[in-house]
Amino acid sequence: MVKPLPKEEGLDHTIAWMNEGYLFLSNRMNQFNSDIIETKILGKKCIAMRGPEAAELFYDSSRFIRYGALPKKAASVIIGKNSVFHLDDGQHHKRKQMLLNVLNDEQQIQLEQISKNQWEIAIEQWKQKDEIVLLDELEQLFTITVCNWIGIPLYAKNVSLRTKDIRSMLTAFTNKGTNYFQGNQAKKRALKWISYIIRQVRTGRIHPKEKSPLYQIAWYEDSNGKLLSIPNAAEEVINIIRPFVAITRYACFSQLAILENKQVKHRLHKDSQYVDWFIQEVKRFYPAVPFVVAKARESFIWKDIYFPKNRLVLLDLYGSNHHQDTWEEPEKFVPERFQFLDKKDRYKLIPQGAGDLEFGHRCAGEGITTQMMRISLEYLLRLDYDVPDQDLNYKLNQVPAQPSSKIRLQNIRIKE
């Protein structure tokens, strides 16, 4: 027997979604006491679901495809029209392989060194200032690091503009979409910039190191043996730069977690196992990507629910990471909970997607995100500073979320 899906009254719920942000889906699921509901956003009917079983279904590529799932506006500003996010089956697998190769262990070692050098330089500058705004400083630090690592020349005079453009892309849908125009302009500038660099590589005017991300993407051939078009190659480069700079939010939230949970600092200094749990808890607890979208490949029935062909399906990432059936006291920040989580479980902790890394759409940068969070923690823990009065709250209806004050720190000095 097919069950009807609980759904809220009303023609369309886009406004409610903009008002409620990360909580939009959970609010309705809690209200209907159901982990699967129907809703309508941007005029499209969607099935929304949460929890580990839903994640397992969502990442079953025999059931779902990505092509055409994201609305065009979001697709063009956030991730580009022909990027890996939209590909399915063999084409997806081949492109994902290339990206995973770009982000391999050897590259991560290079990245570690570049990142640490940039942290040392930044801290020397912070020591000279009365006050820093941590998020702003980190955005610049991460922009320089990622460009350096990818192999993109970045001149000092352009650092502020490039950093600002990446921030505008990240926040294009913040403030109920009013930042969209800025985000779109920034994306166009970034595409022009990176397209120029790809052209320079292909015409032999720039010689990036053979294994560098820039080299690999510029010379990548698709399944038909053709090089990616220049805009498409530029999109894939931007799809590394943009999420890399997004890690700054996690770095700031780590700092917030330390400020708000005084007991964790001591253990972070002493216990590397605890550092792992802490990073996982930051990723679980604090908001990043609210949900992911796919489209039903064919009609099917799951748990007596009918999924029609082409129906949009949303997996609630934030709601899954805060679901009380999966997590004990989910609204408390408790790193120790991760000592009990089976590391092989691919469907419970899902801030960066779930399932298989190679064959599914799970985030290609998960390892790098953890690595950068660990380095950020290591350096921030070496510092002493004063924390002036400020608004450290973050809003769950602002996507992506960040502490309101962006974390102001004063009188920075290195610990004795």
Which residues are part of a known binding site for heme?
363
Would you call 179 helix, strand, or coil by DSSP? Answer: coil
**Could you give the CA distance from residue 121 to residue 125 in angstroms, rounded to a whole number?**
7
Contact window for ligand HEM (CB under 6 A) among 151-159, 165-173, 201-209, 363-371: 363-371
Give the angle 337-109-138 at the CA atoms, nearest 5°. Answer: 65
**Contacts of 371-375 spanning 24+ positions with Cβ under 8 A:** 371/108, 371/111, 371/112, 372/115, 372/142, 372/244, 372/247, 372/251, 373/247, 373/250, 373/251, 373/254, 373/279, 373/282, 374/275, 374/279, 375/112, 375/115, 375/116, 375/119
Stretch that binds ligand HEM, among 23-31, 196-204, 235-243, 321-329 (CB under 6 A): 235-243
**Binding positions:** 363
- Decide whether 290 or 412 has the Cβ nearer to ligand HEM: 290
Nearest by Cα to 251 from 291, 219, 301, 288: 288
Give yes or no for residue 363 binding ligand HEM (CB under 6 A): yes
State which of residues 107, 145, 239, 255 lies at the interface with ligand HEM (CB under 6 A). 239
Site for ligand HEM in 244-263 (CB under 6 A): 244, 246-247, 250
Question: Is there binding between residue 64 and ligand HEM (CB under 6 A)?
Answer: no
d(CA 248, CA 265): 19
Site string for ligand HEM, 320-359 (x = CB under 6 A): -------------------------------xxx------
Closer to ligand HEM by Cβ: residue 201 or 294: 294
Q: What number of other Cβ atoms are within 10 A of residue 191's Cβ?
A: 18
What one-character-per-residue DSSP string does 52-75 give?
HHHHHHHT-TTTEE-TTTS-HHHI
CB of 353 to ligand HEM, least distance (A): 3
Q: Minimum distance between the CB of residue 69 and ligand HEM, rounded to whole angstroms?
A: 9
Distance between CA 96 and CA 91 in Å, rounded?
9
- Which residue in 48, 138, 201, 240 binds ligand HEM (CB under 6 A)? 240
Query: One symbol per residue from 98 to 117: x for binding ligand HEM (CB under 6 A), - otherwise; what is it?
Result: -x---x--------------
CB-wise, 7 or 73, nearer to ligand HEM? 73
Binding-site ranges for ligand HEM (CB under 6 A):
84-85, 96, 99, 103, 239-240, 243-244, 246-247, 250, 288-289, 292, 351-353, 361-365, 368-369
